[in-house]
Amino acid sequence: MDDNKLILDGLAVANGIKEKLVHRVQLLVEKRVMPCLVTILVGDDPSSETYVRMKGNACKRLGIDSRRIHLSKDTTTEGLVTVIRQLNADPDVHGILLQHPVPHQINEREAFDAISIDKDVDGVTTLGFAQNAVGFANYPSCTPEAIMNILDYYRIPIEGKHVVVIGRSPILGKPVSLMLLNRNATVTICHSKTTELHRMVKLGDIVVAAVGKPRFVQGDWIKRGAVVIDAGYNSGNIGDVDYKACLTNASAITPVPAGVGPVTIAVLLKHTVDAAEKALKS
């Protein structure tokens, strides 16, 4: 491997975030406040089970109370919203995370928007999205914020750069595009209907892959010297980027695993602690 290639180590970024939380958690506990994150899992999706377990373990290592609510795959939108409203009313709960995806019969947007903005630590509500768009969200979507943390940790310039985002989901592609725009980048959002996608990607000084398809982004799509952020995670620990191929032209790249994923979880923990501190002051 070329020694000039910068591997953007997400574990280092995540550890830096979590180290700053240790003392804050201790202070809250001394004041008899235990930061608490509740994760709601609907159905039996194996990948979701894994994500929930990882988040729970991360909470425990930091001293954050992690609770899990597991609802059956037949749960209705009304039933899920009722559970969320009960958690909204519980003063001991500081963060609510509804694991995505939910079963098809559930109106996901209605469920997300039932979460109180003060407990929306995963940044999934419509109000949270709007706040992020204008640059003052308390809890931006975790993966987009993780991406920004990685760029800042490695002092990768954003202002004036052309960023190509592949993906337009309301919890990843769209919010990260807005965060980059708020930092004075020029942003192009690409998606499944984009014609000549490879030509668009080739224009990017920074490329963010968030398309949900394994090894989708090819090496010859990447402009020489570009920074590649792989926000994908597919079965078999495979990202959305063909890592080895893209490494040829990229100046910096995130691996999968140990790239964006660990930072996303660290951001979620930080948001939960932020919410607990905010609740203590109110």
Average pLDDT of the residues in 217-230: 98
Segments forming the whole domain that contains residue 221? 142-260
Spatial CA neighbour of 35 closest among 17, 60, 70: 60
3 confidence band (pLDDT: 50, 70, 90): low
Does residue 174 contact residue 168 with C-beta atoms inside 8 Å?
yes
Has 113 been annotated as catalytic? Answer: no
Which position among 9, 113, 120, 122 bears the catalytic label? 122
Per residue in 104-118, pLDDT tens?
A: 999 999 999 999 999
Residues 67 and 149 in one domain: no
CA separation for the pair 59, 39 (Å, rounded): 11
Per residue in 115-161, pLDDT tens?
A: 999 999 999 999 999 999 999 999 999 999 999 999 999 999 999 99
Q: Does residue 248 lie in a domain region?
A: yes
Within 8 A by CB and 6+ apart from 140, the residues are: 123, 128, 132, 175, 179
- The CATH number of the domain where 55 resides is what? 3.40.50.10860
**Global pTM value:** 0.95
Tell whether residue 204 is among the known ligand binding residues.
no
Per residue in 150-192, pLDDT tens?
A: 999 999 999 999 999 999 999 999 999 999 999 999 999 999 8
Tell whether residue 168 is among the known ligand binding residues.
yes
Q: Output the pLDDT for position 51.
A: 86
Q: Which residue has the higher pLDDT, 140 or 49?
A: 140
Residues 165 and 253 in one domain: yes
- The CATH number of the domain where 220 resides is what? 3.40.50.720
Q: Output the pLDDT for position 1.
A: 44
Has 131 been annotated as catalytic? Answer: no
